[in-house]
Structure 1
């Protein structure tokens, strides 16, 4: 089985983690001994990241690789809710409306 990752979503998680730590792109780049442009490309999902670099980045950001790659963070009870919110951030109003129409019946369904 071949795994496929959405580097845009991964980059967004990295950016949010960096901001949560109070780091600028420049500060993170310095910690990792890479260019600011490289960090920018990673955060925008424009370049892939090696496993070694991901490990270093997670160490600096104090995040798990599981969270950065999959959005799941076993330390958070609301990780799925948070992941859905992150996915919705990049959607147009039309797409959000469509998603709402799909999930509304599921949310309103009452099990007997």
Structure 2
């Protein structure tokens, strides 16, 4: 599981930086096909190789282990669709209705957050 999380996080950061697997592999001084196995979590990599990848990404080790930042693309797409549908429902409401809905949603979220703690 940890190998997959690390691989997924490497892929996410690489894409955010606009790098291909080949470009990152070159920066890290490792084989490009090896990089693919790392990103898929198929390869048990050494700390030394992990350090090379971190340097190739120009990040800190702490940045790499921010697993909470991994976002499932399908989930993000679904959230985006829901937000767009919600926006379309609110678009033809009055300003006062939108303010009321905002306050209600804000209160609901605050309650949900307090329950989590």
TM over 0.5: yes
Answer whether contact 1:54 1:65 (CA < 8 A) is retained.
Answer: no
Answer whether contact 1:18 1:28 (CA < 8 A) is retained.
Answer: yes
**Structure 1, gaps ≥5 residues long:** 73-82, 93-104
Matched, 1:71 2:77: no
Q: RMSD of the alignment, in Å?
A: 3.0
Greater Cα radius of gyration, structure 1 or 2: 2
**Structure 2, gaps ≥5 residues long:** 76-110
Equivalenced residue count is 82
Which structure features the higher share of helix residues?
Answer: 2
TM-score, length of structure 2 as denominator length: 0.56
Query: Distance between the aligned counterparts of 1:38 and 1:110, measured in 2?
Result: 41
Equivalent position of 2:113 in the other structure = 107
TM-score, length of structure 1 as denominator length: 0.58
